[in-house]
C-alpha cells in the first residue's frame, strides 16, 4: 500500500476561465472554495466535506456571459487533480456506493475508480434541467459537472435520483451521494495488496 501523500495542485488558464485547485485525498474534508458561482461553491464544499477530501479552489471566469464555462472548467480540473492524486491506485478499495437523503430528495451513487470514464445519470424530474437554482445555476449543470469530473478522473459513476421535489435539495443530494461513494472508493484498504484489478492496472 502506498504511503506517498495523495495530493495534487493544478492550474488551468483559458480565455474563458482561470482556475487554481489543490486537493488532498487523505484529508478531513476541509475546504476553501471560491468559484465566483455561489451555488457551485456550496456543492463543492459538500463534496469535500462528505468525501473527506481537503479541497481549495480559486476560479474566475466569464460568468457575465454564463456560469457554464467556469463550472465546466472547474469540474475538468477537479477530475484531473483526482486522477493525479490517485497515482497508480495501489491499495485502494476501488468501489464505493452511497444512498443519501436530503429531506424529500433521495439519491444513490456508485463509483468505480476504473480508469474507464463512464457516467450513467438518471432520475432528475422533468424540468429540473431548466430550473435556475439560486438564480444563476441551471439544473442542467449538475449532470455536466459529473461528466467533466468522471471523464477527466477516469471514473465510472452511476448517479440515480430516486426521489425529490426541490431542485436545491436534489442537486445537493446528488453531490453528497457522489462524495460519499467516492470516499469509500478512494480509501486505502489494508486488506488490498497492490492494484485491485485482475488486469493489474486501473
Q: State how beta strands 156-163 and 118-122 pair.
A: parallel
Query: What pLDDT sits at residue 1?
Result: 56
Mean predicted confidence (pLDDT) in 65-71: 95
Q: What is the rounded average pLDDT of the residues 72-89?
A: 98
Q: Binning pLDDT at 50, 70 and 90, where does residue 2 land?
A: low
Instruction: Give the DSSP per-residue string, 139-193.
Output: THHHHHHHHHHHHHHT-EEEEEEEE-S-HHHHHHHHHHHHHHHHHHHHSB-TT--
Q: For 81-102, what is each residue's pLDDT tens digit?
A: 999 999 999 999 999 999 999 9
- Whether 167 shows a pLDDT value over 60: the answer reads yes
**Predicted structure pTM score:** 0.97
CA torsion, ordered 141, 33, 166, 146, to nearest 10 deg: 30
**Considering only 3-7, 15-19, 23-27, which range has the smallest mean pLDDT?**
3-7
- Delineate the domains of the chain, giving CATH numbers in brackets: 7-186 (3.30.230.40)
| Mean pLDDT calculated for residue range 170-185 | 98
Tell me the pLDDT band of 24, cut-offs 50, 70 and 90.
very high
Amino acid at each position: 500500500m502506498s504511503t506517498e501523500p495523495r495530493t495534487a495542485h493544478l492550474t488551468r488558464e483559458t480565455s474563458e476561465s482561470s482556475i487554481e485547485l489543490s486537493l488532498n485525498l487523505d484529508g478531513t474534508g476541509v475546504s476553501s472554495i471560491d468559484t465566483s458561482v455561489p451555488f457551485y461553491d456550496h456543492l463543492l464544499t459538500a463534496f469535500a466535506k462528505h468525501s473527506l477530501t481537503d479541497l481549495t479552489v480559486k476560479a474566475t471566469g466569464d460568468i457575465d456571459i454564463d456560469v457554464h464555462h467556469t463550472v465546466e472548467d472547474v469540474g475538468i480540473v477537479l477530475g484531473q487533480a483526482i486522477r493525479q492524486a490517485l497515482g497508480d491506485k495501489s491499495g485502494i478499495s476501488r468501489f464505493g456506493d452511497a444512498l443519501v437523503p436530503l429531506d424529500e430528495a433521495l439519491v444513490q451513487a456508485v463509483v468505480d475508480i476504473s480508469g474507464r470514464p463512464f457516467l450513467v445519470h438518471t432520475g432528475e424530474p422533468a424540468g429540473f434541467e431548466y430550473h435556475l437554482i439560486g438564480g444563476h445555476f441551471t439544473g442542467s449543470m449538475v449532470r455536466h459537472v459529473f461528466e467533466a469530473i468522471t471523464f477527466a478522473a477516469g471514473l465510472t459513476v452511476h448517479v440515480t435520483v430516486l426521489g425529490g421535489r426541490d431542485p436545491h435539495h436534489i442537486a445537493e443530494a446528488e453531490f453528497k451521494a457522489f462524495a460519499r461513494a467516492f470516499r469509500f472508493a478512494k480509501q486505502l484498504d489494508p486488506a488490498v495488496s497492490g492494484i485491485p484489478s485482475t488486469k493489474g492496472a486501473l
